[in-house]
């Protein structure tokens, strides 16, 4: 090797180098430059807001009919009895349960799309320490999902309560638990998305990761029914959907976890999936 | 500068790369040759930290690839399979990758121009032809203006114009003092591009030498002689270890003797020669010769079932 060759090797300014903020910037460019990101979020918004207002309007209509109903002996049923167990906040936020499909799938695709197309090799060649890629995806996707979902949750709540208000069933944002449930709606979708991201990192294959994600959320409660009733009562509250739902309800039954603990249990599923994903990312050949 | 020491990779029961040791020096294009499935891509992936070696180690510019703080500015890589998200435009693909190492937008536009993708830079990469995909891959490799380039089958899928472009690009990069390591299964391509060769077969090192040495080593002593007194010369040359075939009345093909020896015998006997030519094996033949035992899938041409 001659000195000439050393001098010619690159003309770096010395300002280059991998750092977490730079990887976050990269992931943000990746996120917004794919059409699928915007399609998924448009679908999530339509589902959350559209269904929220629709369900509220239907409930308001039905409630209007029931209110004039009479019991079997012709006596009128007090409105307070009918209202028992009625959670107007949840009614207006129920669209989030459909929106979770779009957000969950997008969370999976954030990483399996890279494995599927081979992009992951370019990504990991530019960030060979690998882990910053996972952190950056969590931050970019988690924050974006939280902001958009909370906005969707708020619009669905306000629209839904307006529809319910015509029958005097609506509540306001200042009602007990309402604001918490609206923000909880944003957290719920964010955690679903991050759980999907974790499954994607751990499994790498789009189909397998989506099946795992919705197996955990939707199929697990059905499988739990195989256990004796006494076990179910204990078990069910810790399953992802039951635990996560506590974030967006204001009406709690005796067997439910409190909103905070429910949210933490739900978040724990996402954390575990991401930890497994991080281990797989670091250990397995790309 | 790339150094591999005792590099090995096992997939299950298959030893894909077996104790490879070689050095790739700056300033020249080094070809990495081997038949399909010989472990070239796996070796390159180990150099780039994508696959963890089962044994041995690899360093690039003095350090394991993973330990460079700005890896794209040390090593530019093009991997055989496309490493591009099909839904993203070429420019956004480059911007996203450049961002990780702090490479600016100006350099992105520069490399787009260098590979000639200006007009399609905003189009989705999924619609790119194989050749355009290769150009985008090369643009990616050049982003960090690296001192070392590792390119897996860069001419794959390129049209003749593209191939010529790659050849000149590789040579000029090497002439600038960079380390250029290029894999190929086509000896003919390497013959015109590379000046040094690392040849592997079934994961093992077969040769690590200059193109000239390799050709000389592989070409046996074959001499073509033309003389009007062919039969007489044939008689004089006949001895153990020398093969002589007559391809024409006045033509002999002699194996096992150098052209010097053949000329001397003819001169001593006063036989006038019309032609005396040492036969160089082509690089292609040299390659076939040294890898013939290491080809994983041997096709039998024209065999009856």
Mean pLDDT of A52-59: 91
Q: Tell me the average pLDDT across B188-197.
A: 88
Comparing B23 with A165, which gets the higher pLDDT? B23
Interface membership of A122 toward B (CB under 8 Å): yes
Average pLDDT over residues B42-68: 95
What are the pLDDT digits (tens) for A214-227? 999 999 989 988 88
Q: Which of the pair, A3 or A178, is modelled with greater confidence? A: A178
Q: Does residue A227 sit in helix, strand or coil?
A: coil
Cβ within 8 Å, pair B49-A124: yes
Lowest mean pLDDT across A60-74, A97-111, A236-250: A60-74
**pLDDT of res. B185:** 83
Q: Which residues, numbered 128 to 147 in chain B, qualify as contacts with chain A under a Cβ-Cβ cut-off of 8 Å?
A: 140, 144-147
Query: Which run of H or E residues covers position A43?
Result: helix A35-45
Q: Which two tokens stand for residue B162?
A: 């593209």
Residue B233: Cβ-neighbour burial (10 angstroms; 0-12, 13-18, 19+):
buried
Position A48 scores a pLDDT of 96
Residue B159 has pLDDT above 60, yes or no: yes
Confidence of residue A5 (pLDDT cuts 50, 70, 90): very low
Cβ pair B70:A16 closer than 8 A: yes
Give the three-state DSSP class for A186. helix
Nearest CA in chain B to A16: B102
Nearest by CB to residue B50, choosing from A1, A117, A285, is A285
Measured between beta carbons, the chain B residues lying within 8 angstroms of A122 are 79, 83-84, 93, 97, 140
Interface of B with A in 35-94 (CB under 8 A): 45, 48-52, 61, 65-66, 68-74, 77, 79, 81-89, 92-93
Q: In terms of DSSP H, where are the helices of B35-103?
A: 40-47, 71-74, 90-100
More confident residue, A244 or A2: A244
What would the 3-class secondary structure string for A137-158 be?
HHHHHHHHHHHHHHHHHHHHHH
Q: Which residue has the higher pLDDT, A212 or B219?
A: A212
Of A146-150, B128-132, B246-250, B262-266, which gets the smallest average pLDDT? Answer: B246-250
Query: Two tokens at B39?
Result: 């472990």
Q: Does A84 score more than 70 pLDDT?
A: no
Number of H helices, E strands in chain B: 11, 13
pLDDT (average), residues B158-185: 93
Alpha-carbon B231 to chain mean position: 43
d(CA B92, CA B89): 5
Which token pair is A233?
A: 């009562």
Q: Which of the residue ranges A14-18, B99-103, B266-270, B296-300 would you say has the lowest mean pLDDT?
A: B296-300
Q: Which residue of B has its CA nearest to A112?
A: B85
What residues contact B303, with CB distance under 8 A and at least 6 apart?
none
Subunit contact A34:B49, Cβ cutoff 8 A: no
Q: Is the pLDDT of residue A82 over 80?
A: no
Q: Which residue has the tokens 């024209």?
A: B302
- Give the dihedral of Cα atoms A88, A93, A95, A99; nearest 10 deg: -170
Cα(A263)–Cα(A168) distance, integer angstroms: 30
pLDDT (average), residues B154-161: 87
Average pLDDT score, chain A? 88
Cβ distance A12 to B73 less than 8 Å, yes or no, reads yes
- Enter the tokens of residue B167: 């050849």
Q: What is the mean pLDDT of residues A184-209?
A: 97
Residue in B closest to A7 by C-alpha: B177
pLDDT over 60 at A67, yes or no:
no
Closest-CA distance of chain B to residue A115, Å: 9
Hey, are the CB atoms on B27 and A30 less than 8 Å from each other?
no
ipTM of the complex: 0.87
Interface touch A10/B49, C-beta < 8 Å: no
Best of A18, A125, A280 to disrupt the B interface by mutation (most B CBs within 10 Å)?
Answer: A125
Residues of A in contact with B51 (CB under 8 A): 285-286
pLDDT at A113 over 90: yes
């Amino acid at each position: 090797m001659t000195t000439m060759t050393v001098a010619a090797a690159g003309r770096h300014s010395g300002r280059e180098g991998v750092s977490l903020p730079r990887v976050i910037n990269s992931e943000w460019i990746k996120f917004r430059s794919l059409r699928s990101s915007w399609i998924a979020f448009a679908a999530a918004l339509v589902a959350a807001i559209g269904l929220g207002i629709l369900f509220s309007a239907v409930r308001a209509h039905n409630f209007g009919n029931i209110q004039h109903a009479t019991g079997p002996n012709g006596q009128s049923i007090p409105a307070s009895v009918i209202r028992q167990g009625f959670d107007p906040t949840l009614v207006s936020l129920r669209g989030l349960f459909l929106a979770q499909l779009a957000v969950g799938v997008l969370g999976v695709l954030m990483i399996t799309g890279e494995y599927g197309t081979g992009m992951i090799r370019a990504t990991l060649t530019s960030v060979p320490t690998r882990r910053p890629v996972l952190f950056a995806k969590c931050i970019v996707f988690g924050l974006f999902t939280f902001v958009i979902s909370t906005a969707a949750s708020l619009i669905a709540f306000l629209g839904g309560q307006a529809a319910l208000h015509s029958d005097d069933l609506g509540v306001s944002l200042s009602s007990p638990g309402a604001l918490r449930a609206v923000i909880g709606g944003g957290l719920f979708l964010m955690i679903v998305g991050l759980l999907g991201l974790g499954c994607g990192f751990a499994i790498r294959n789009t189909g397998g990761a989506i099946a795992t994600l919705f197996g955990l959320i939707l199929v697990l409660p059905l499988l739990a029914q195989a256990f004796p009733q006494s076990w179910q009562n204990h078990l069910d509250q810790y399953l992802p959907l039951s635990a996560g739902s506590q974030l967006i309800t204001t009406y709690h039954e005796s067997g439910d976890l409190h909103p905070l603990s429910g949210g933490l249990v739900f978040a724990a599923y996402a954390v575990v999936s991401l930890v497994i994903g991080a281990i797989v990312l670091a250990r397995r050949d790309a | 500068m790339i150094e591999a020491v005792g590099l090995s990779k096992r997939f299950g029961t298959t030893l894909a790369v077996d104790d490879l040791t070689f050095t790739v020096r700056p300033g020249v294009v080094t070809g990495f040759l081997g038949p399909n499935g010989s472990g070239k891509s796996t070796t390159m992936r180990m150099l780039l930290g994508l696959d963890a070696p089962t044994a041995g180690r690899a360093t690039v510019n003095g350090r394991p690839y993973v330990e460079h703080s700005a890896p794209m500015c040390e090593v530019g890589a093009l991997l055989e399979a496309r490493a591009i998200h099909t839904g993203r435009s070429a420019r956004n693909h480059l911007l996203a990758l450049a961002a990780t190492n702090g490479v600016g937008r100006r350099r992105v536009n520069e490399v787009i121009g260098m590979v000639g993708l200006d007009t399609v830079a905003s189009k989705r990469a999924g619609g790119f032809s194989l050749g355009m995909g290769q150009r985008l891959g090369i643009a990616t490799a050049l982003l960090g203006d690296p001192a070392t380039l590792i390119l897996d089958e860069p001419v794959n899928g390129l049209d003749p114009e593209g191939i010529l472009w790659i050849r000149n690009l590789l040579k000029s990069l090497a002439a600038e003092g960079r380390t250029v390591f290029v894999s190929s299964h086509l000896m003919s391509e390497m013959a015109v591009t590379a000046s040094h060769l690392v040849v592997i077969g079934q994961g093992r090192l077969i040769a690590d030498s200059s193109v000239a040495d390799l050709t000389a080593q592989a070409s046996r002593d074959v001499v073509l002689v033309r003389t009007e007194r062919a039969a007489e010369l044939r008689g004089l040359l006949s001895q153990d270890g020398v093969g002589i075939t007559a391809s024409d009345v006045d033509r002999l093909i002699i194996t096992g003797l150098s052209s010097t020896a053949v000329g001397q015998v003819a001169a001593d006997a006063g036989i006038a020669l019309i032609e005396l030519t040492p036969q160089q094996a082509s690089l292609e033949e040299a390659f076939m010769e040294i890898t013939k035992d290491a080809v994983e899938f041997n096709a039998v041409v024209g065999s009856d079932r």
